[in-house]
Amino acid sequence: MMPSPYHVPVMLRECIEAWVTDENGVYVDATFGGGGHSREVLSILGKSARLIAFDRDPAAAENVPDDPRFRLIQANFSLISNHLRFLGIEHIDGLLADLGVSSHQLDNTERGFSIRGDAPLDMRMDRSIKLKASTVVNSYSREQLEQLFRNYAEIREWRALAAAIVAERQQKAIKRTAELIRIGEGVCRDPKRNRFMAKVFQAIRIEVNAELEALKELLQQAAALLKPGGRLVVMSYHSLEDRLVKNFMRSGNFSGQIEKDFFGKPLRSLKPLPGMPISPSEEELKENSRSRSAKLRIAIRE
């Protein structure tokens, strides 16, 4: 099934060129979404190739291509090793992860991801999980909210926003995105208020979906799954994700501190390609404004 404009893949050509090293290899699309990357790579893979895709959003199943080489697994990509083992796959030739929220999720107002419109405070990628954005906003302590907005939103007003939320919810529960936006705009000192609120929504979404923990799991498992010479291709959209990806590719850990063996060789299994990260071209930025914060990093399994 060919989707509607579910999601416009960012740096599609760059991703495909970096991802594929063997046209008959085994590949993983860790973030299937609208299927743009998967559909493109299937067009160049050989008949004996395999492509396993992951996505925890049930809506992604509407975009599955009719191709015997393809299989979609509806699961968090943090569980990739278990599912591949179940399929009898021990090693792969390449893994791609596009960490952005899809255009479909942003444009589908009722999911609560977008600062546009008004919707219930949800923000769950997988609606079977219990934690919702409304739970975070209404039940987290002031100290927890401060830490959340300081670390994940990286805004100056993290204390003021947490205090304003606590004061508001003492009067009545905060249930909708428009209510949260009103509170946020009341403490915002950034003239670009949409940018400020996008950071606030980002922080809550990361918390609800445990995105950074899942990313760490994915990176560690990918390093173990890739064959020597296999490629890890990751596209991130905010500094928190990019920092984890950069540090892990560079040093094999998330602190970024390179450890070396007795002979001075770095203790890591991946080697980042030079010239990273890659950013969208000026032409792509004009055609797709949502690509503006994208950073693409590529590493080879040594």
Class of domain 130-208: mainly alpha
Q: How confident is the model at residue 179 (pLDDT cuts 50, 70, 90)?
A: very high
Q: In this predicted structure, which of 61-65, 71-75, 98-102, 275-279 has the lowest mean pLDDT?
A: 98-102
Residue appearing with tokens 């929504």:
201
Measured in whole angstroms, the distance separating CA 112 from the mean position of its chain's CA atoms is 17
- Find out whether 119 and 112 touch, Cβ atoms under 8 Å: yes
Residues of the chain with pLDDT > 70: what percent? 95
CATH 3.40.50.970 fits 12-104+211-301, yes or no: no
State residue 225's pLDDT score: 98
Distance CA 93, CA 106 (A): 32
The ranges of the chain annotated as CATH 3.40.50.150 are: 12-104+211-301
- Find out whether 208 and 185 touch, Cβ atoms under 8 Å: no
Strand partners, 251: none
3-class secondary structure, 191: coil
Q: How confident is the model at residue 77 (pLDDT cuts 50, 70, 90)?
A: very high
State residue 103's pLDDT score: 62
Per the prediction, the chain carries an average pLDDT of 93
- Find out whether 53 and 73 touch, Cβ atoms under 8 Å: yes
Q: Residue 280 pLDDT more than 90?
A: yes
Mean per-residue pLDDT, 37-45: 97
Residue appearing with tokens 């509170």:
183
Distance CA 43, CA 158 (A): 47
196 torsion bin: left (phi>0), alpha (psi -120 to 50), beta (else): alpha
State residue 290's pLDDT score: 79
Model confidence, pTM: 0.92
The ranges of the chain annotated as CATH 1.10.150.170 are: 130-208
